[in-house]
């Protein structure tokens, strides 16, 4: 008996949760893990005792800041997000710790969100709502989306889901990935595809190669009738360059769901740029999403506890989960 | 020679165009028809000399008012619209005159428009635009459209295009028509389908049976989370009943593109109903639509001039073009 009691701390893994509100629902794991909680201020102190770290507060960069400290580190880090840019630091990349992400949860919701914005722009819906406030009956001709051309930058599951949904609406959609392969263009085709596109959609992860890829030169090559949408990461876009493109009517409009600094502060000039739709990083967050994220982690945990190989494993060098 | 000159007025048909701005482009017919123009005030006087009437100003009810007058009547009336409610009067219905419509031109555009509104509601886009004006960063959870249920009332080409487009987005869509047939429900199923629907979409023609079909009883049976959309005719809806349903939050929201009286006047209470999107009868009007309407009439004219049977022939008793 005393032996068992003493052994227990060794056999029950410690799951450290970097919290956000509301807490994850980890029902099936009750009693099988020792759950501890941390916030940005306590994370560094609690990391050494953790076997597993669940990054539930994926808007925080606390992991990237706390990881390089002293002591042992969790063997596995899971983030309840598709992007991993907020946690990868050189020390974590170089370590043996496995990093997994929420691949799969956000694909269809984000694809629907992009379709919503594409259709809203095509049908001039923001202007319709403005005219309604003015009680003005003003007929306009709008655009058909069927037959238009989109380029989606980012060929992971989210980019592919966007291409599938736009394709179902008759939009001819090209995917651009890190390297050319079947049905995916390489970066060398991006300029040409952007120049011919009606819709340019950023859905790439933030990696060493992608910051600032949408800059003045690239906005300058878009058609004046074209729209730019970003559902990837804010840092993909040079925001001042987009502001210039919108103010100068180089392009017809844009929608940003992600920003270099989030939340966007009330004094940001982005709120009032002509033709820009601003949304608060919510494109993938449909009702029930947190439950889905919790259930996904529980499933991964079952594999880990059983000694099975994890899925959704991030290539820490590349900064995303490689796949077809 | 003199005989020929005298005979010419008999062999060149007179095409009377009830005009709207801009005029139809009837290029291929140049020199083959005598084109005359009329507006609401001159139509009655010019009808007797016309072989064919092209109702280009489809927002006008001038035909319905002028038709019952004295003298001969055109043998063929074509309207550059899907609905024919604005021109059918008992005398025209009882006559031998053939009526054709613009069946086919508006199907895909209207389907895209409906998809735009469905997605905009699911993704809370009107609220996003409001919060943007307030410079407020407020994350919300939104809805997935895949797996939701729609009922489309109207089983003609427009209703079927709507069902096809929503189906491509994963929405389970039921069609309701005048009578039950393959893949179409009869009116007896409407109450049950409305009660279970997330989206109720009115795309029916205005006929003897359809005025006021969406009334207090039917809005009362919808789910509080459901939305109502009308892209058919304003008279399908009891507008006061919809106002009550929206003010009382019986339903989550609505979009009206058509109204009992158009244009909507600035003093209409509809402009400011909670959760209502008002648009100015434009759901089918995509760039190039007038050229398509002109080209469609020219094609029909070629058939008529060659003595071939016309297509898009309206069943004047029923008030629409019957089809599969």
Which residue out of B21, B22, B107, B135 would a mutagenesis test of the A interface target, given it has the greatest number of A Cβ atoms within 10 Å? B135
Most B CBs within 10 Å, among A123, A141, A229, to test the B interface: A123
Q: Is the pLDDT of residue B324 over 70?
A: no
Q: Do B285 and A129 touch (CB under 8 A)?
A: no
Q: Do B122 and A129 touch (CB under 8 A)?
A: no
**CATH code given to domain B3-104+288-305:** 3.40.50.720
Collect contacts of B41-48 with beta carbons under 8 A, ≥24 apart. B43/B16, B43/B18, B44/B69, B46/B16, B47/B16, B47/B71, B47/B73, B47/B74, B48/B72, B48/B73
Q: Which residues on chain B are in Cβ contact (under 8 Å) with A116?
A: 116, 119-120, 122-123, 125
Residue B205, pLDDT above cutoff 60 = yes
Q: What is the pLDDT of residue A171?
A: 98
Parts of chain A belonging to CATH 3.40.50.720 = 3-104+288-305, 107-278
Average pLDDT estimate for A175-188: 96
Rounded to whole angstroms, the Cα distance separating B322 from B315 reads 7
Q: Are strands A276-278 and A253-256 parallel, antiparallel or unpaired?
A: parallel
Query: What pTM was computed for the model?
Result: 0.93
Q: What is the pLDDT of residue B2?
A: 45
Whether B233 is catalytic: yes
Interface test with B, best of A282, A283, A288, A291 (most B CBs within 10 A): A282
pLDDT number for residue A55: 97
H or E element, residue B44:
helix B43-46
Residues linked to residue B320 through DSSP beta bridges, in sequence order: B315
Contact A286 B141 (CB under 8 A): yes
Of B58, B163, B153, nearest to B114 by C-alpha is B163
ipTM > 0.85 (yes/no): yes
CA-CA distance, A301 to A299, in Å (whole number)?
5
* Sheet of strand B172-176: strand arrangement: B172-176, B149-153, B199-202, B227-230, B253-256, B276-278
Determine whether domain B107-278 maps to CATH 3.40.50.720: yes
Angstroms from A231 CA to nearest CA on chain B: 14
Q: Would residue B262 show up in a list of annotated catalytic residues for this protein?
A: yes
Of the candidates B138, B268, B287, the beta carbon closest to that of A143 is on B287
Q: Decide if B129 and A126 are in contact by the 8 Å CB cutoff.
A: yes
Residue A35's pLDDT is what?
95
Exposed/middle/buried for B215, CB within 10 Å: 0-12, 13-18, 19+?
A: middle
pLDDT at B20: 84
For residue B289, give the nearest of A117, A128, A141 by CB distance.
A141
A-chain CB neighbours of B105 within 8 Å are: none
What number is the average pLDDT over the span B242-259? 98
Question: To the nearest 5 percent, what fractions of chain B are helix, strand and coil?
Answer: 35, 15, 45
Q: Which of A244-248, A270-274, B59-63, B136-140 has the lowest mean pLDDT?
A: B59-63
CB pairs under 8 A between A and B: 138
Selecting from A108, A117, A263 the residue whose C-beta is nearest the C-beta of B144 gives A108
Predicted confidence at residue A152, as pLDDT, reads 98
A319 vs A38: CA distance, rounded Å? 24
* C-alpha span between A14 and B43 (Å, rounded): 85
Place of tokens 């309840």: A80
Query: What residues in A contact B112, CB-CB < 8 Å?
Result: 119, 122-123, 144-146, 169
A-chain residues near B141 (CB < 8 A): 282, 285-289
Cβ separation of A139 and B282 shorter than 8 Å?
Answer: yes
As a dihedral over the C-alpha atoms of residue A17, residue A21, residue A22, residue A27, rounded to 10 degrees, the angle is: 10
Phi/psi for A109 (5° steps) reads -55, -45
* pLDDT value at residue A271: 98
């Amino acid at each position: 008996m005393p032996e068992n009691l003493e052994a227990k701390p060794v056999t029950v893994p410690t799951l450290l949760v970097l919290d956000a509100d509301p807490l994850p629902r980890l029902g099936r794991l009750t009693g099988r893990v020792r759950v501890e909680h941390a916030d940005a201020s306590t994370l560094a102190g609690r990391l050494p005792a953790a076997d597993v770290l669940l990054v539930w507060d994926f808007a925080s960069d606390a992991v990237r800041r706390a990881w390089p400290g002293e002591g042992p580190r969790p063997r596995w880090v899971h983030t309840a997000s598709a992007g991993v840019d907020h946690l990868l630091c050189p020390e974590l990349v170089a370590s043996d710790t496995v990093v997994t992400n929420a691949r799969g949860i956000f694909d269809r919701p984000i694809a629907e969100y992009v379709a919503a914005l594409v259709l809203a722009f095509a049908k001039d819906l923001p202007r319709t709502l403005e005219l309604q406030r003015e009680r003005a009956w003003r007929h306009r001709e709008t655009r058909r989306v069927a037959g238009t051309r989109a380029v989606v930058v980012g060929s992971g599951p989210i980019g592919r889901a966007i291409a599938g949904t736009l394709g179902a609406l008759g939009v001819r959609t090209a995917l651009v990935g890190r390297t050319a392969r079947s049905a995916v263009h390489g970066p060398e085709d991006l300029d040409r595809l952007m120049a011919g596109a009606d819709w340019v959609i950023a859905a790439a992860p933030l990696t060493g190669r992608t910051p600032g890829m949408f800059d003045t030169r690239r906005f300058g090559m878009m058609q004046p009738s074209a729209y730019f949408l970003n559902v990837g990461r804010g840092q993909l876009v040079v925001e001042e360059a987009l502001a210039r493109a919108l103010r100068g009517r180089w392009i017809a409009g844009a929608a940003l769901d992600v920003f270099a600094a989030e939340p966007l502060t009330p004094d940001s000039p982005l709120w009032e740029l002509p033709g820009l739709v601003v949304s608060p990083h919510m494109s993938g967050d449909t009702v029930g999403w947190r439950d889905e994220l919790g259930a996904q982690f529980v499933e991964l945990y079952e594999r880990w506890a059983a000694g099975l190989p994890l899925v959704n494993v991030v290539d820490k060098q590349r900064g995303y989960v490689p796949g077809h």
